[in-house]
Structures are given as structure tokens and as C-alpha cells.
């Protein structure tokens, strides 16, 4: 976390906050409040704390609403007390993390709620902001979702280009099975019912149902019949989750919750 926040601070500060240096007495102490301007789910407070600590260890952040709290317009999330120059030097980076990660948590929570009547689990994807993957995937968990692969070394997911390069579904699964340890599951992407059938017959542990219609998803779930986990993916938005979950799939993965979530409207106001 420190390295991510340190990079963000260096990007923002450059050679220093010339505005605060020109307008604020060096010893002035102030207090400020992080105020929510729209409803959502709070995520990112550890990043806020880190931003202040890296600039000035004497700045004190008092968390009033814990990580994962559901907030309404006007709720005060946290109070910060310390040197005015230090607080303002950290402000934008602290808010960027808090707003962005809270937006992801809020979007994830909406998807989780939509799937609640069914058994489908909501997960993220690798469609994350370069350099911010761990932070964004953390926010997904705060919103009640689960993490898919953290990186390419985290599991075998055979996608369309792998299948083409390997010479087909059976070849790809067979080669992966020979390489994979007994604890490593094999997931394979499919686009048609015929591919789903082949994947089941070849012993895939998880079958990714890519860009399928609701009818195709229902038919795939019926065909798999519990012999593998089923994962719906491909262009899914939170508005589509309930209908997709109702098809009986086990997992719904959405790049949307990390790459398209709107930041939560939060401000830092000095008193």
C-alpha cells in the first residue's frame, strides 16, 4: 500500500505545494471532515491514513464510520486533525483513493444485492487500472464481492486465444492438466453449447460462459448439471446481474465494477 500511495503523492506534489506554502502559516493546525455527498459504501480509509502518514506522521485521522459502512448524503466519514499544510498536501491523493475505491465498493454492493435471491457469487476481473489492481480488488471485497485471479500466476484460465494456439479445447485442457498441480483448478472459456459440452467431457473444473444470451446460459447450466462450476462473463453490467443470476450460474464476473464504477462524491472540508 505504501508504494502505491507514495507514487500518487509524488505525482501530485512534484517539488511541493506552492499554493499552501504561499498562503498558509507553517505552524497552523486545523481540523477537517470527510463528508459524503451521495449514498454508497465506504472503502479506502487505510489509503487515506497512509497518505497522511507519509506526508506527516503527526496528522491524526479519526475514523467515524468504519470501512464497508453504508453511508447517506451528509454523513461524516472521518475527522482529520493536524498541520494545515500537511493536510492539504495529502488531500487530493487521500480523496482520490477514497472516492475511487468507495465507488467500486458501492457498485459491487449493488451487484451483490441484485444476485442475493440466487446463489451466484459476484467477482471482479483483471480489467483494472494499471498499478491499482490490489487496491481496486480490495474495494471489491469491501463491497461484498469476491476476487477472481489477482494475476496470470494465480490460476489457469484457458481463453479463446489459448484454445486456438493449443489446437482446440481438448488439447488445451489435456496440456493444462499435465502441467497443473493437484490443487490448481482449470477454467476454460466457451462461447457455444457445443464448446460447453466438450469442456465438460474433458473435465474442466470451471466453465466460463462468454457473452451468452440468457437462454444460452440456462441451457449451459442444465447441460453442465453440476459437473463443473459455471461462470457468466462478458459485457455484464450491474443492471443485468439479477437476470443472469436467475439462470442458475454459479459465478458472475464483471469488469464493470472496477473499470466503470463512478467515484463516490466525497469532500474534505476544513472547519
Give 48-57 pLDDT, tens digit per residue.
999 999 999 9
Reply yes or no on whether the pLDDT at 112 is more than 90: yes
Backbone angles phi, psi at 121, to 5 degrees: -95, 135
Where in 117-271 does DSSP place strands (E)?
Answer: 121-123, 156-158, 186-190, 206-210, 229-233, 251-253, 266-270
- Three-state DSSP state, 239: helix
E strands, 179-260, where? 186-190, 206-210, 229-233, 251-253
Q: What is the pLDDT of residue 154?
A: 87
pLDDT for the residue numbered 271: 86
| Percentage with pLDDT > 70 across the chain | 100
CA separation for the pair 92, 47 (Å, rounded)? 12
Name the residues annotated as catalytic.
Answer: 92, 127, 159, 189, 210
- Residue 234: is it exposed, middle or buried by C-beta count within 10 angstroms (0-12/13-18/19+)? middle
Secondary structure tally for the chain: helices H, strands E: 11, 12
In the DSSP assignment, the letter for residue 14 is T
Instruction: Report the C-alpha gap between 180 and 197 in whole angstroms.
Output: 22
User: Given this model, what pLDDT does residue 158 score?
Assistant: 96
pTM for the model = 0.95
Q: Are 191 and 198 in contact (CB under 8 A)?
A: no
pLDDT at 183: 80
190-246 per-position pLDDT tens digit? 999 999 999 999 999 999 999 999 999 999 999 999 999 999 999 999 999 999 999
How confident is the model over 151-171, as a mean pLDDT?
A: 94
What is the grid cell recorded at 195? 464448446
Q: What is the reported pLDDT for 78? A: 98
- 166 pLDDT band, cuts 50/70/90, is very high
Cell 459524503 maps to which residue?
36
- Specify the DSSP element, H or E, that contains 57: none
Question: What pLDDT, on a 0 to 100 scale, did the predictor assign at position 234?
Answer: 95
Per-residue pLDDT averaged across 83-95, rounded?
97
Task: Quick: pLDDT tens for 168-184.
Answer: 999 999 999 998 878 88
Asked if pLDDT for residue 250 goes beyond 90, the answer is: yes
Q: What is the mean pLDDT of the chain?
A: 96
Amino acid at each position: 500500500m505504501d508504494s502505491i500511495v507514495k507514487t500518487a503523492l509524488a505525482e501530485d506534489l512534484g517539488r511541493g505545494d506552492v499554493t499552501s506554502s504561499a498562503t498558509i502559516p507553517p505552524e497552523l493546525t486545523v481540523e477537517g471532515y470527510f463528508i459524503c455527498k451521495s449514498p454508497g459504501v465506504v472503502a479506502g480509509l487505510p489509503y487515506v491514513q497512509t497518505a497522511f502518514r507519509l506526508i506527516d506522521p503527526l496528522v491524526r485521522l479519526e475514523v467515524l464510520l468504519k470501512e464497508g459502512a453504508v453511508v447517506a448524503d451528509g454523513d461524516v466519514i472521518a475527522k482529520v486533525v493536524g498541520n494545515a499544510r500537511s493536510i492539504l498536501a495529502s488531500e487530493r491523493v487521500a480523496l482520490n483513493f477514497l472516492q475511487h475505491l468507495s465507488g467500486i465498493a458501492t457498485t459491487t454492493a449493488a451487484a451483490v444485492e441484485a444476485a442475493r435471491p440466487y446463489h451466484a457469487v459476484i467477482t471482479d476481473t483483471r480489467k483494472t487500472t494499471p498499478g491499482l489492481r490490489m487496491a481496486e480488488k480490495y474495494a471489491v471485497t469491501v463491497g461484498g464481492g469476491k476476487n477472481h485471479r489477482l494475476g496470470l500466476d494465480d490460476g489457469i484460465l484457458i481463453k479463446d486465444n489459448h484454445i486456438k494456439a493449443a489446437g482446440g479445447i481438448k488439447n488445451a485442457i489435456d496440456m493444462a492438466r499435465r502441467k497443473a498441480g493437484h490443487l490448481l483448478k482449470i477454467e476454460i472459456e466457451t462461447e457455444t453449447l457445443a464448446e460447453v459440452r466438450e469442456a465438460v467431457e474433458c473435465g474442466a473444473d470451471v466453465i466460463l460462459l462468454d457473452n451468452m444470451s440468457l437462454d444460452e446460459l440456462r441451457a449451459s447450466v442444465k447441460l453442465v448439471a453440476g459437473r463443473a462450476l459455471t461462470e457468466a462473463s462478458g459485457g455484464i453490467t450491474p443492471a443485468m446481474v439479477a437476470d443472469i443470476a436467475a439462470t442458475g450460474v454459479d459465478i458472475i464476473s464483471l469488469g464493470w465494477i472496477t473499470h466503470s464504477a463512478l467515484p463516490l462524491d466525497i469532500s474534505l472540508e476544513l472547519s
